[in-house]
Amino acid sequence: MRFFKNKLAVTIVVLSVTFLVLIGYSFKRESKGAIENGVAVALNPVQKVFYGMNDNVKGFLNFVFSFSDVKKENEDLKKKNSELESKSIEYDSLKNENERLRAMLDFKSQRADYNYIGAHIINKTGGSILESFTIDRGEKDGLQVGMVAISPIGLVGQVTYVANSWASVQPIINENIAVGALVESTRETTGIVKGYRDSNNKFSAKVYYIDMNSDIKEGDIILTAGLGDFYPKEIKIGEVISVEEDKGKVSKTATIRPYVDFNKLEELYLVVPTDKKNIKY
């Protein structure tokens, strides 16, 4: 009996210890799982932040490494853009020059009884009040004082001084220049075109000594009369902007707007008659 009691006690003790070990082991596993789960939950937002930072860092590093390529590409684009702008300016310049030359050829073909010497303007005197041009042609090129200067769109003026390799040209808005006038609409040869200075000290041109019976009016086109073969006939001078009678009602005076923009003029042509026997410069 006693043996059985001891054996039963030992069995109970062994079972109890085993049960306690199993409980401890189970609790340990559950605790570990709970801890791991808690740590995972706690670290999840942090992991997201680090993953986001990692993506940003990668993007920044990619930008840094590709910056030199982007900079070079930008410089190449700027260079190409500059080249295109230069070509555009060059094209516009050549186009304008071609148009001027074509207009001059048309002018020359209509007036084959004259020769023409092209010249570039190298200086302008008088500042805002234009007094004269200096051109790159002179005596060695056949120029003489008194020769007429024109552009494809109208009368420029007259040569007033000639040196060996350059000359001075006074425009028709200068008070020293005078030329006979022809009214295109009525074909009247009346009046003298001269430069004048208005109340604002600005130069323009007027047609003086117009006959009182003249039908000249605002909007009429004034041409060179071609008297004495000094100026070629029918070169455009300007457009009438106003007409007034003098106080004594002896004649009329017309103010005109010259066709040539003297401030923008770059080149001109000197008119040389093929037959100079009746012309005394």
CATH number of the domain to which 209 belongs: 2.40.10.340
Domain contains 281: no
pTM for this model (two decimals): 0.61
Domain enclosing residue 30, as ranges: 1-110
Instruction: Examine residue 74 and state whether it is found in any structural domain, yes or no.
Output: yes
pLDDT exceeds 90 at position 88: no
Of 5-9, 159-163, 168-172, the one with minimum mean pLDDT is 5-9
Which of 73, 93, 110 is at the close of a domain? 110
Asked if residue 88 and residue 222 are part of one domain, the reply reads: no
Q: How many domains does the chain have?
A: 2
In this structure, is residue 280 part of a structural domain?
no
Domain finish residue from 94, 110, 126: 110
- 158 & 269 share domain: yes
Residue 115 belongs to a domain: yes
User: Are 6 and 33 in the same domain?
Assistant: yes
Residues 92 and 124 in one domain: no
Q: Given pLDDT bands bounded at 50, 70 and 90, which one contains residue 65?
A: low
The per-residue pLDDT for range 219-265, each reduced to its tens digit, is 999 999 987 667 888 899 999 999 998 877 789 999 999 999 988 88
Q: Read off the tokens for 64.
A: 């840094």
Same domain, 77 and 131: no
Q: Are residues 92 and 178 in the same domain?
A: no
Q: What is the mean pLDDT of residues 55-59?
A: 57
Q: What is the mean pLDDT of the chain?
A: 75
121 with 159, same domain? yes
Is residue 250 domain-resident?
yes
Residue 121 lies in a domain: yes
Same domain, 176 and 214: yes
